[in-house]
Amino acid sequence: MSKFLIGVLLLLTFAVAPATAAADERYALIVSGASGSEKFAESQKGWVSSLQSTLQKRLGFAAERVIVLSESGAAAALANRDNVTRTLASLKPKLTGDDMLLIVLIGHGTFDGTAAKFNLVGPDMDSNEWKASLEDTPARLVFVNTTSASSQFVQALSGKNRIVIAATDSPAQKYATMFPQYFIEALDQGAKADNDKNGRLSVWEVFTYASQAVKQAFEQKGTLVTERSIIDDNGDGVGKEAAAAAAAGGDGVLARTTFLDPLSGAASANPAVAALDKRRIAIEVEIEQLKARKGDMPAGQYEEEFERLAIELAKISAQIRSAK
């Protein structure tokens, strides 16, 4: 297929407003663990407040679907092991395969040579305990551990329909991280992180923005970069930095097509448009997966598959425009 035809098809495809990656309802659990000091307590309090406000006011999460557990929380809102497991257990029956569950851990992480843990009020939870608590969760999971020594969470929580992000690529990275600051900044400011300028903010864009901002902060200080965030969304349990994931393919496909804001008003109000949006998103995922396999395919086969998907995508986009 000619480059001109490909360009025309893609122009037709993306002429409509992009939609979220098959997420009907969006839920968020923010866990702000034990701070350890007054200084960190203030930082965590500010990050949590900003994140909660951004999710509700900018990204349109329903207030009742944003749950916050913190060290200053009272009773059921206290960030301890019982409340974490109880909250996750209570969410599962409400979730479907079309929903999205965002979990963000803010605070401190540790590694004892065997297991990586997230510090809570009282007994901590290690990565395997989080894995057990999240088993059989039907929704798409976006799990973001913004703490030190968080890399093992990627291997533990990796799986189908899951995007797992860790602020560090090694359990040896034990110092307080900058990642939460820039992760929340990306969500809050939106346009600055919107790399492809399509008016939407994908999980991939938030991850890459925060990762690059952390790197730049180290460079501005003139110090060696010791904090490297990683992502896994292909279920292989191997986290990669943004540049490596983009170069190698595989990781990043799901994150690029998962958005934290809701379906457009027309789509959410019209079941037919919503169904078309979901089909369109499924094709977009197939295209991203195809791009990741390009280096392993004969050129002719790749072009044939790309043409088939691009034509189908253009047709569905035209139907969406007509329905709206």
Lowest-confidence region among 105-119, 131-145, 217-231, 243-257: 243-257
Could you write out the three-class secondary structure of the chain? CCHHHHHHHHHHHCCCCCCCCCCCCEEEEEEECCCCCHHHHHHHHHHHHHHHHHHHHHCCCCHHHEEEEECCCCHHHECCHHHHHHHHHHHHHHCCCCCEEEEEEECCEEECCCCEEECCCCCCEEHHHHHHHHCCCCCEEEEEECCCCCCHHHHHHCCCCEEEEECCCCCCCCCCCCHHHHHHHHHHHCCCCCCCCCCCCEHHHHHHHHHHHHHHHHHHHCCCCCCCCEEECCCCCCCECHHHHHHHCCCCHHHHCCECCCCCHHHHHCHHHHHHHHHHHHHHHHHHHHHHHHHHCCHHHHHHHHHHHHHHHHHHHHHHHHHC
Q: Does position 51 have pLDDT exceeding 70, yes or no? A: yes
- Assigned token pair, 205: 């864009």
- On the CB side of 92, CA atoms within 13 Å amount to 11
Q: Does position 42 have pLDDT exceeding 90, yes or no? A: yes
Residues 6+ apart with CB under 8 A from 37: none
Q: Does position 12 have pLDDT exceeding 80, yes or no? A: no
- Kindly indicate the confidence band of residue 3, based on its pLDDT and cuts at 50, 70 and 90: low
pTM given for the model: 0.84
Residues 6+ apart with CB under 8 A from 291: 249
204 vs 165: CA distance, rounded Å:
10
- Kindly indicate the confidence band of residue 263, based on its pLDDT and cuts at 50, 70 and 90: low
69 vs 78: CA distance, rounded Å:
5
- Kindly indicate the confidence band of residue 273, based on its pLDDT and cuts at 50, 70 and 90: confident
Write out pLDDT tens, residues 59-89.
Answer: 999 999 999 999 999 999 999 999 999 999 9
At residue 66, φ and ψ (nearest 5 deg) are -110, 110
- Kindly indicate the confidence band of residue 265, based on its pLDDT and cuts at 50, 70 and 90: low
For the chain, what percent of residues have pLDDT higher than 90?
Answer: 70
Domain-by-domain residue ranges, the chain? 3-17+264-323, 26-256
Q: What is the mean predicted confidence (pLDDT) over 301-306?
A: 94
Write out pLDDT tens, residues 285-303.
Answer: 788 778 878 888 999 999 9
Q: Does position 11 have pLDDT exceeding 80, yes or no? A: no
CA 177 to chain centre: 18
What pLDDT is attached to residue 6? 52
What pLDDT is attached to residue 20? 41
- Kindly indicate the confidence band of residue 269, based on its pLDDT and cuts at 50, 70 and 90: low
What pLDDT is attached to residue 2? 52
Q: Does position 41 have pLDDT exceeding 60, yes or no? A: yes
At residue 102, φ and ψ (nearest 5 deg) are -100, 125
Q: What is the mean predicted confidence (pLDDT) over 93-118?
A: 96
Domain 26-256 listed as CATH 3.40.50.1460: yes
pLDDT top residue among 12 and 301 = 301
306 vs 130: CA distance, rounded Å:
39
